[in-house]
């Protein structure tokens, strides 16, 4: 499996696929797990060639410490991708090259969804994500690009990005992949101790409880229920829990029968920040 470090050599390798063939892209920051592999498998089914980009994007981290601690192991990632059947190219560019010499974010307006939830707690995060996804989409020029619903807000941001940047690419959202314990798969799980891993199962359990009770509980009661569950846990700290309108991602205070809602959560296990979400109706 070949790792391409620059857009020139990647473009050459993609030439035979440009006419009459389909190219899929999975943007990742590496530390690949089965959640990523599910995206790659979906992309391999839909396309003739799949590019997996591996790039830890500095502009989307609001905390330097988080960027430094982000797990990186290109060899492991390559070996994992090599277990799959199909044409996979790995694109692992240098930051300075990918960013055309200027490693900074564009200022985007994504119709206000950038200011909700993750946007409130991680300043500048979505500008960084938008900037790097735009750069990757322009380097690879895929027919479709795949994103997991674990980062549901990011998926909606990317959909807006392609409208803003007028990019001819289909954005495909894929379901969250979970451990047997229910914990959503994430590269950050690698940083959890055994005790934290066990404790973190409360995240999905609580979301499932809210989903089950949503029809009969007011939103403020759902919020109170979640706060209580996390207050009782010594290993986890709730950063936010929100029921939000699926379209606008605005916090919902009251339910309306003609609207779709999703619950979103962010939790700290020690220094490790975990997010998850679930459809409610
Ligand atoms: O979800 C991620 O891993 C990153 O936010 C992405 C989309 C690869 C951009 O750096």
pTM for the structure as a whole: 0.96
Residues of the chain above pLDDT 70, percent: 100
Alpha helices in the chain (DSSP H): 7-18, 34-46, 64-69, 74-81, 95-98, 117-121, 125-140, 152-164, 194-199, 201-213, 219-231
**Which residues, other chains included, contact 52 with Cβ-Cβ below 8 Å and sequence gap of 6+?**
25, 26, 28, 32, 36, 40, 81, 88, 89, 90, 91
Catalytic residue chosen out of the listed positions 36, 125, 235, 254: 36
How many Å lie between the centroid of ligand 1 and the Cα of residue 65? 17
Where exactly does CATH 3.40.50.620 map onto the chain?
A: 3-174
Among 68-72, 123-127, 260-264, the minimum mean pLDDT is found in 68-72
pLDDT, tens digit (0-9, with 9 covering 90-100), for 134-162:
999 999 999 999 999 999 999 999 999 99
CATH number of 187-279: 3.30.1300.10
Where exactly does CATH 3.30.1300.10 map onto the chain?
A: 187-279
Q: Whose CA is nearest to atom 7 of ligand 1?
A: 27
How many Å lie between the centroid of ligand 1 and the Cα of residue 27? 6
pLDDT, tens digit (0-9, with 9 covering 90-100), for 216-266:
999 999 999 999 999 999 999 999 999 999 999 999 999 998 999 999 999
- Is 36 labeled as catalytic in the residue annotation? yes
Average pLDDT over residues 62-78: 93
Q: Whose CA is nearest to atom 3 of ligand 1?
A: 28
Assess whether pLDDT exceeds 90 at residue 1: no
Let me know how many helices (H) and strands (E) the chain has, helices first.
11, 9
Contact 59 CB / ligand 1 (< 6 Å): no
Q: Which CATH architecture has domain 3-174?
A: 3-Layer(aba) Sandwich (3.40)
């Amino acid at each position: 499996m070949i790792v391409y470090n620059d857009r020139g050599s990647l473009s050459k390798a993609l030439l035979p696929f440009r006419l009459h063939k389909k190219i899929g892209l999975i943007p990742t920051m590496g530390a690949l797990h089965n959640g990523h592999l599910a995206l790659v498998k979906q992309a391999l089914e839909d396309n003739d060639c799949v590019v997996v980009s591996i790039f830890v994007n500095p502009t989307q981290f609001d905390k330097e410490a988080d960027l430094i601690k982000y797990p990186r192991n290109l060899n492991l990632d390559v070996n994992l991708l090599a277990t799959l059947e199909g044409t996979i190219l790995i694109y692992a560019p240098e930051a300075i090259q990918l960013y055309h010499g200027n490693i900074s974010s564009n200022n985007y307006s994504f119709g206000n969804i950038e200011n909700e939830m993750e946007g409130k707690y991680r300043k500048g995060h979505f500008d960084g994500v938008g900037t790097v996804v735009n750069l990757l989409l322009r380097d690879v020029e895929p027919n479709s690009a795949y994103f997991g619903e674990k980062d549901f807000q990011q998926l909606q941001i990317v959909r807006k990005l392609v409208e803003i940047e007028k990019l001819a690419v289909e954005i495909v959202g894929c379901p969250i992949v979970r451990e047997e314990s229910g914990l959503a798969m994430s590269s950050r799980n690698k940083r959890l101790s055994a005790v934290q891993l066990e404790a973190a199962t409360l995240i999905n359990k609580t979301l499932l409880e809210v989903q089950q009770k949503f029809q009969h509980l007011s939103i403020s009661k759902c919020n109170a229920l979640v706060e209580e569950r996390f207050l009782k846990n010594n290993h986890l700290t709730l950063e936010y829990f929100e029921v939000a309108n699926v379209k606008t991602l605005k916090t919902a205070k009251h339910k309306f029968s003609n609207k779709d809602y999703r619950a979103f959560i962010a939790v700290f296990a020690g220094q490790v920040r975990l997010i998850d979400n679930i459809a409610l109706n």
